[in-house]
């Protein structure tokens, strides 16, 4: 199956466009940023709504607390910084003041994963999905491309409750239609197939699309699911697909521990134990390099998806 490439853009720019649109349509939306306005593409919102934009400086803990407080009185705050500083650095602030207190804060986390690139492992968080999906009350969204990140940003504002919205730095192909419907918690089935289910999120959705051609040439029928919402997980979509395919590959730009793969494995173990292979970073920190070099070195590239499919098919037999 051919996927039309609609353009090439970074997912963070999708966030920037979504936030700007929210600025025009929802007067309750406010934005806070910890000295990364350009990196998060928040300039347009800031320019159009200076009174609703709050530059907090390099003080992420204070930013999370402020965002929680701003909900009292009806505002919908979006915090902006890198994924690393949006999660581990401020876990306790998110836990107590946002998740436990059920505050309507949207945590916009950019530069997630290895594809942050040259800055290296200090900034390449690979544990954030795990940290966030463990928190009660938290919704976790990892959109696949520019258009979907824009849609997810807008959908986050309409959702009442804490949201962790994870996106990235590199320019990647756009394949989600600009007018596609985005529903939090409802997976997108991109291709229907009968031999294997690939469940991917974020940049790995495109890597999985790239794998399709090779797999189809080998006569393998793939059902590819874009699992943009990690929590709440679309359990029905998973069970419906594996009822046909009887094996799964999960693919994500995250540590194997705690991520999408873990979440899917839990569903399978409880409902339908079948073989699963994991395309994810295996218990190691990253390093400096270009985004694509790093995806290759750390085993989250297109050939890794293909190899995982072959391995899981062999196990199925």
Partner 1 sequence: MQNEELKKIASQVRRDIVRMVAAVSSGHPGGSLGCADFLTYLYFEGMKHNPENFSMDAKNEDVFFLSNGHISPVIYSVLAHVGYFPVSELATFRKLNSRLQGHPSTDKKLPGIRMASGSLGQGLSVAIGAALTKKLNNDHSAVFTLHGDGELQEGQIWEAAMYAAANKVDNIIATIDYNGRQIDGDLDDVLSLGNLEAKWQAFGWDVLSMNGHDFDSIRETMQVAKSKLGNGKPIVIIMKTEMGQGVDYMMGTHKWHGSAPNAEQLQSALNQLEETLGDY
How far CA 95 is from CA of 9, 59, 74, in Å, comes to 33, 17, 20
Counting contacts by CB under 8 A, is residue 52 touching partner 1? yes
74-113 binders of partner 1 (CB under 8 A):
74-75, 77, 92-93, 95-97, 100-103
140: Cβ contacts below 8 Å, ≥ 6 apart: 129, 132, 133, 163, 164, 166, 229, 230, 231
Nearer Cβ to partner 1, position 97 or 226?
97
- For this structure, is 60 an active site residue? yes
Q: Which of 29, 33, 67, 201 binds partner 1 (CB under 8 A)?
A: 67
| Stretch in the footprint of partner 1 (CB under 8 A) among 5-13, 55-63, 197-205, 263-271 | 55-63
Alpha-carbon span 13 to 118, nearest angstrom:
19
Nearer Cβ to partner 1, position 69 or 173?
69
Counting contacts by CB under 8 A, is residue 160 touching partner 1? no
Could you tell me what percentage of the chain is helix, strand and coil, using 3-state DSSP and rounding each to the nearest 5?
Answer: 40, 20, 35
Alpha-carbon span 84 to 201, nearest angstrom:
18
| Stretch in the footprint of partner 1 (CB under 8 A) among 40-48, 71-79, 257-265, 287-295 | 71-79
Nearer Cβ to partner 1, position 56 or 309?
56
Using the structure block, give the residue that is written with the tokens 């309409």. Answer: 158
First to last CA, the chain: 25
Counting contacts by CB under 8 A, is residue 70 touching partner 1? yes
**Which of 4, 48, 60, 293 is labelled catalytic?**
60
Q: Please, what is the minimum distance in Å from the beta carbon of residue 163 to partner 1? A: 17
- Count of beta carbons in the 10 Å neighbourhood of residue 190: 21
Q: Which of 1, 5, 59, 292 binds partner 1 (CB under 8 A)?
A: 59
Nearer Cβ to partner 1, position 104 or 197?
104
Q: Which residues pair with 197 in a beta bridge?
A: 223, 248
Alpha-carbon span 222 to 195, nearest angstrom:
6
Counting contacts by CB under 8 A, is residue 196 touching partner 1? no
Counting contacts by CB under 8 A, is residue 57 touching partner 1? yes
Nearer Cβ to partner 1, position 100 or 285?
100
Q: Which of 66, 190, 215, 267 binds partner 1 (CB under 8 A)?
A: 66
Q: Which residues pair with 55 in a beta bridge?
A: 33
Counting contacts by CB under 8 A, is residue 26 touching partner 1? no
Alpha-carbon span 8 to 10, nearest angstrom:
7
- Determine the size of the site formed for partner 1 (CB under 8 A): 32
Q: What angle do CA 50, 89, 129 make, to 5 degrees?
A: 95
Task: Report the catalytic residues.
Answer: 60
Which residues are at the interface with partner 1 (CB under 8 A)? Answer: 30, 51-52, 54, 56-57, 59, 61-75, 77, 92-93, 95-97, 100-103
């Amino acid at each position: 199956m051919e996927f039309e490439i609609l353009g090439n853009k970074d997912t963070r720019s999708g966030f920037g466009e979504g936030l700007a649109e929210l600025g025009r349509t929802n007067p309750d939306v406010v934005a806070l940023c910890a000295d990364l306005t350009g990196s998060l593409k928040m300039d347009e919102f800031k320019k159009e709504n200076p009174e609703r934009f709050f530059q907090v400086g390099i003080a992420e803990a204070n930013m999370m607390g402020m965002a929680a407080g701003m909900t009292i009185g009806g505002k919908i705050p979006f915090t902006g910084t890198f994924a690393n500083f949006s999660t581990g650095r401020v876990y306790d602030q998110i836990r107590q003041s946002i998740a436990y207190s059920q505050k309507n804060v949207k945590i916009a986390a950019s530069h997630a994963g290895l594809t942050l690139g040259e800055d290296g492992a200090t900034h390449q968080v690979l544990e954030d999905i795990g940290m966030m999906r463990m928190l009660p009350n938290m919704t976790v969204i990892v959109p696949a491309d520019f258009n979907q990140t824009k849609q997810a940003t807008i959908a986050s504002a309409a959702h009442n409750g804490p949201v962790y919205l994870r996106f990235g730095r590199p320019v990647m192909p756009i394949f989600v239609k600009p007018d596609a419907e985005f529903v939090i918690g409802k997976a997108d089935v991109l291709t229907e197939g009968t031999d294997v289910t690939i469940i991917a999120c974020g940049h790995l959705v495109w890597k999985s699309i790239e794998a399709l051609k090779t797999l189809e040439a080998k006569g393998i029928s793939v059902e590819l699911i874009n699992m943009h919402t990690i929590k709440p997980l679309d359990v029905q979509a998973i069970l419906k697909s594996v009822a046909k395919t009887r094996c799964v590959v999960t693919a994500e730009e995250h540590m194997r521990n705690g991520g999408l793969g873990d979440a899917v494995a839990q569903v399978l173990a409880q409902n339908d134990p079948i073989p699963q292979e994991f395309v994810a970073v295996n218990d190691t920190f990253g390093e400096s390099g270009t985004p694509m070099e790093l995806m290759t070195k750390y085993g989250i590239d297109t050939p890794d998806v293909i190899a995982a499919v072959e391995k899981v098919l062999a196990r199925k037999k």
